[in-house]
Amino acid sequence: MLDRTIPFFNTIMKCSDYKHRDPELPDGFSIISYQPGHEKEWAKLEVSIGDFCSSAEAEDYFIKTYLHDPNQSSNILFALNSNHEVVGSCMAWQDTRGVNSVSSLHWLVVHERYQGIGLGKALCIAVMNIFEKRRGFPVYIHTQPWSWKAILLYLSLGFKLQTTDSFSHYQNEYENAMSELKKIVSEEQYELLRQSSED
């Protein structure tokens, strides 16, 4: 479970260069694009990690935000287990809330029971392959210190922490975020974060 006692600071990451790779999934798992009904499963996932208070609230948010454009909804990916149950999700999103439309790896989530087996990485790679196919670079991520494990995953895919750059409506809070991350990660990991930072 995410430790939400860690202070929230807007953390911006960007990937400008990526080469296609095949996602590696554990046996019995698969990744598919959105199908009608997945909004209910997404809502359950998000409630389970504390992003919404109720499934109804989460489902309503998903429908209003992500299903108004069929071209966008096809870029919402879901990880399924061997019983075809939704256990993770990630989006290749075009964020249009700012001055320009920006590619964004968006809302990675994996059910707590299935974390640590490579599903998050596989979902991110599948999303990055969508951007690579449509030449949608650079790709941005908005995250926060309590998602430090995901931040380290994003680094492994070629993302860099942004010291000043941002996108959409987010205010970059790099120094505050790094101060919190320094309390959480190892010295080696913190040094990697510093070395993987750019303006």
Element (H, E) at 63: helix 55-66
Q: For the chain of 199 residues, list the mean pLDDT of each consecutive stretch of 10.
A: 88 96 96 96 93 95 89 92 96 88 95 95 98 94 97 97 96 98 97 97
Domains detected in the chain: 1-16+138-199 (no CATH), 21-137 (3.40.630.30)
Short-list 62, 61, 53, CA closest to 34: 62
The CA-CA-CA angle for residues 158, 129, 100, to 5°, reads 75
* pTM for this predicted structure: 0.95
* Residue 95 neighbours by CB under 8 Å, 6+ apart: 101, 102, 103, 104, 106, 140, 167, 168
Q: Are 126 and 119 in contact (CB under 8 A)?
A: no
Residue 1's pLDDT is 63
> Which pLDDT score, from 0 to 100, does residue 163 have?
98
